[in-house]
Structure 1
Amino acid sequence: MLPSLQVPDGRWVACLCAGWCGTCRDYRPVFDQVVAAHPGLRFLWLDIEDEAELVGELDIETFPTLLIADGAALRFAGPMLPHAATLSRLLASLDKQAAVAGSADPALTDLVQALHRRLSSA
């Protein structure tokens, strides 16, 4: 986990990646830039193979995939191109939008809940 404020019910961003993925490796410094630019948010870099038990049955088809949540409420789940400005714009747009309804994918819901519990206990 990257350093940031301890805000269990605040916004957090998890990057789901794989060590073998070249795009993920390219994205890491970009992700770190965004971390530095948003000190009030929690950020996680999560290798899905290292954390297979936590990820559970969730099938990640495109890397990197981002999860953004406010506490346990999912706000965004999807692939993200390695551009710091794109992620920063997405974070800003979520500030202006109402929360979305729960995910239709139970495995995604389970992962969001597990990550929220992990962040809350950190």
Structure 2
Amino acid sequence: MSLHVACLCAAWCRTCESYQQVFEAACAELPQAGLHTRWIDIEDEAELIGELDIETFPTLLIADGEHVRFAGPLTPQPETLKRVLRAHLADATPARVGPEYLELAHRLRKQR
């Protein structure tokens, strides 16, 4: 099964600037086969983001081939990210999210 993990940030955000290395390192530790990670600058990739309005950085999206498993802002600590990744990659329960997150997950799947 293909899993997508996307971190939504902005180049001007100082928190995001330091968080990118945390995100990449945490994702590299995951043993998942078929894991696709993506760092998305919401301004540079505005077409991909669509109508999704990100107000808090970083915001994480975890989606499988059919559902969004998690979508929302995180505190920018490495352990928080690792805990969320482990929990939602192991649990295929769909999250209740708005249509904008569902559309983003769909666009990410199509890019593969």
- Establish whether TM, by shorter chain, passes 0.5: yes
Amino-acid identity (%): 51
1:43 aligned counterpart, secondary structure? strand
Partner of residue 106 from structure 1, selected from 99, 106, 111: 99
Tell which deviates more after alignment, 87-96 or 108-117.
87-96
Residues 8-87 of structure 1 mapped to structure 2, 5 A cutoff: 9-40=1-32, 41-87=35-81
Gaps of 5+ in 2: none
1:23 aligned counterpart, secondary structure? helix
2: distance between equivalents of 1:43 and 1:34? 11
User: How far is 1:94 from its partner?
Assistant: 2.0
Are 1:72 and 1:116, in contact at CA under 8 Å, matched by a contact in 2? no
Closer/same/farther in 2, CA of residues 32 and 118 from structure 1, 3 Å limit: same
User: How far is 1:20 from its partner?
Assistant: 0.4
Gaps of 5+ in 1: 1-8
- 2:27 counterpart letter in structure 1: V
User: How far is 1:72 from its partner?
Assistant: 3.6
Closer/same/farther in 2, CA of residues 48 and 95 from structure 1, 3 Å limit: closer
Root mean square deviation, CA, Å: 1.7
User: How far is 1:90 from its partner?
Assistant: 1.3
Give the equivalent residue in structure 2 for 1:115.
108
**Normalising by structure 2, what TM-score?**
0.86
User: How far is 1:98 from its partner?
Assistant: 4.2
**Normalising by structure 1, what TM-score?**
0.80
Count of aligned pairs between the two proteins: 110
* 1:91 aligned onto 2:81: no
User: How far is 1:74 from its partner?
Assistant: 0.2
Closer/same/farther in 2, CA of residues 72 and 117 from structure 1, 3 Å limit: farther
Runs of 4+ in 1 over 3 A off after TM superposition: 95-98
1: distance between equivalents of 2:108 and 2:90? 24
